[in-house]
Structure formats: structure tokens, C-alpha cells
Amino acid sequence: MDLRQLNHFIAVAEELHFGRAAERLGMTQPPLSQSIMALERELGASLFARTKRNVALTPFGQQWLEHVRPALGAIAELGIMAERLREGTAGRLALSFVSSADYSILPALVRRYATAFGDVEMTLAEATSDVQIEALVEGRIDAGILIPPASALPAAIAYRPLLREPLVAAVPDSWAEDGRLELDQGRLTGEGWMDQPLLLFPRHVSPTFHDLILDHYRVKGRQPSIRQRAIQMQTIISLVSAEMGLALVPASLQNLARTGVRYLPLAGGAPMLETGLAWRRADEAPTLRALVDIALQLAEPSGP
């Protein structure tokens, strides 16, 4: 059977008159009758009970009509769906992000995108920068919010900065209260705090971020005492809460409130960390292009 036959069936079923159905379809009655008979032969059952005076649906025809109508309706929607996919108002989008982005650019980006493109199925996954770059190259995600490596990204990957923010010290609240750390108007002063145990993440996770922290120590002529390593920012903050040490984290992480943790700005200038959006240059998907546009609209003026 084909769509033409199904449309013929619907017309006769609604008109219950071959002449009116043929006129509605813009054809003559004999070809319409032949089309219906061919359809009945293919189905192996009669669709209509015909007499000289009237036409009626058979019980089989009545039940089959209930399936044909929604099927034809779905087919009619295919053209509309194709247009929406072309425009990027429907489809799928896979976005990964570093954990610190969850407390800075990510919420606003997701909220604005979901408001503008509510029918796009967006999947979110937290991942470290190195994992995101690999996933982008392999086509497993569409875009990533990451900390760029010091070396060049793969040639196939496009990148635009979104946010630059200072690092702050996340310290156990008790350390700030018992005088273990030098404070001046709520800022961490002196260099004595550099003698305290440092909580850090492995270098392969984000070499740029890792080296930014160690370089800050080296500039001061210090060698950090790394007590514990952890991959996730949330885990590092939990370790700070447990008084295992202090950590240097992006200022936006202050939005992660944790009992027993205090965030202190660094006096005398703090290292600046950049976070940006990466995607495949060759990917022209409308859903991705819309995400890039929104992300750049949200970017700091000093970003792109």
C-alpha cells in the first residue's frame, strides 16, 4: 500500500460516498474504486460494505480507520519536523562541562537555551577538560565548557573564551578563626598560608589550571605541600571542610556553600582562570550554532 491509497481510504470513509470522495480528491470515481479494491485485496479484508444506495464501513474498516488517521497525521508532521530540525528548534544537543562551570556560566546558559529552544533535548554531563576534548574529537558530544590547555587545541576544535575569574582560597573556617591564617579585612595576606597543606587535582585533568596554581607558589618562591589530590571540585571543597587542607579555586565556586568552609580573596593579586566553550569547527548543526550564539551573548565583555 502507499500513501495515495491511504488517502483514498480516508476520503471514502469520511464521505461514505465514492462520487463525493472522488470529487474531493480531484479524480474520477472508477480509479478511486479500483484503488480501494486493490487496497482490500492487499489487506485481505473488506473495508466497505457497498450497496446500490449506500456505502458503509465494515467492522474491520472502522477499526483500521482508527489506526490510519493518526498514522497519516504523523506523516503529515514529518515535513514540519524537518523544518524545525533545519531551524534548530528541535533535535538533540549533548553538552559537557567542568565542575566549576556549574557555579558560573552553565546555569544561565542552560536556562536561556531551554527557554528559547524548549523542544531541543539537551543532555548534560560533567567531565574534566581532557575528557571533553577527546569526546569532541570523537564526536561523542556537541560542545564543552572547559578550561583550555596551554598548548593549542586540536585543529578541528573551535574555542571561544566565556569567563575570566580570579582564584580564591577555600580554607577551613576554623583556620580563619583561630589565627592560623593572616587576614586583613577579609583577605588572605602574607605568605604563611602557603605553608599549609594544599588540596589539588591531578595535572592531566586540567594542566592549565594545575600549572596556574603551582606557578603562583613558584613566583612567591614557595613549594606547595600537596596533601591530597581529587578530580572533582566538590570533593576538594569537602576535603577543605574536613580540615585536610586549603585549595585555590575559581571565585565562582563561592556559590558552593559548604559548612566549615570559608572563601578568602588573595591579597596582592590573584591568578586569573579562563573558561570557554569548545565545539567542532565542521559541525553546522543549527542546535549547536544557537548554543554558541547564546554562550557568546552571555560571555563577559572582555571574553571573546
Among 44, 65, 87, the domain boundary falls at 87
Mean pLDDT of the region 117-141:
94
Tell me if 281 sits within 8 A of 222, measured CB to CB. Answer: no
**How many Å apart are CA 273 and CA 148, to the nearest integer?**
10
Tell me if 81 sits within 8 A of 119, measured CB to CB. Answer: no
For the beta carbon of residue 186, count every other beta carbon within 10 angstroms: 11
Name the more confident of 13 and 91.
13
- For helices 286-298 and 59-87, angle between their N-to-C axes, nearest 10 degrees: 40
Answer yes or no: is pLDDT of 142 > 90.
yes
Is residue 303 situated within a structural domain?
no
158 and 176 inside one domain: no
CATH number at residue 124: 3.40.190.10
Mean pLDDT of the region 132-137:
96
Answer yes or no: is pLDDT of 304 > 70.
no
Amino acid 79: pLDDT: 77
Among 26, 56, 87, the domain boundary falls at 87
Amino acid 182: pLDDT: 87
> Which domain covers residue 260, as residue numbers?
164-271
201 and 259 inside one domain: yes
Q: How many domains does the chain have?
A: 3
Q: Helices then strands (H, E): number in the chain?
A: 10, 13
pLDDT tens digit string along 235-246? 999 999 999 999
285 and 203 inside one domain: no
**How many Å apart are CA 243 and CA 116, to the nearest integer?**
44
Answer yes or no: is pLDDT of 186 > 90.
no
Tell me if 207 sits within 8 A of 217, measured CB to CB. Answer: no
177 and 267 inside one domain: yes
Mean pLDDT of the region 46-72:
91
Amino acid 300: pLDDT: 65
Q: How far is CA 178 from the centre of its chain?
A: 44
Amino acid 301: pLDDT: 61
105 and 253 inside one domain: no
**How many Å apart are CA 246 and CA 263, to the nearest integer?**
10
Q: How many residues does the chain have?
A: 304
pLDDT band of 91, cuts 50, 70, 90: confident
**How many Å apart are CA 291 and CA 140, to the nearest integer?**
17
Amino acid 303: pLDDT: 39
10 and 61 inside one domain: yes
Amino acid 90: pLDDT: 75
- For helices 59-87 and 3-15, angle between their N-to-C axes, nearest 10 degrees: 130
Mean pLDDT of the region 37-62:
92
pLDDT tens digit string along 190-207? 888 999 999 999 998 888
Mean pLDDT of the chain: 91
Mean pLDDT of the region 249-253:
94
Is residue 141 situated within a structural domain?
yes
Is residue 304 situated within a structural domain?
no
Answer yes or no: is pLDDT of 87 > 80.
no
Answer yes or no: is pLDDT of 302 > 70.
no
Amino acid 43: pLDDT: 92
Long-range contacts from 79-84, C-beta under 8 angstroms, 24+ separation: 84/119
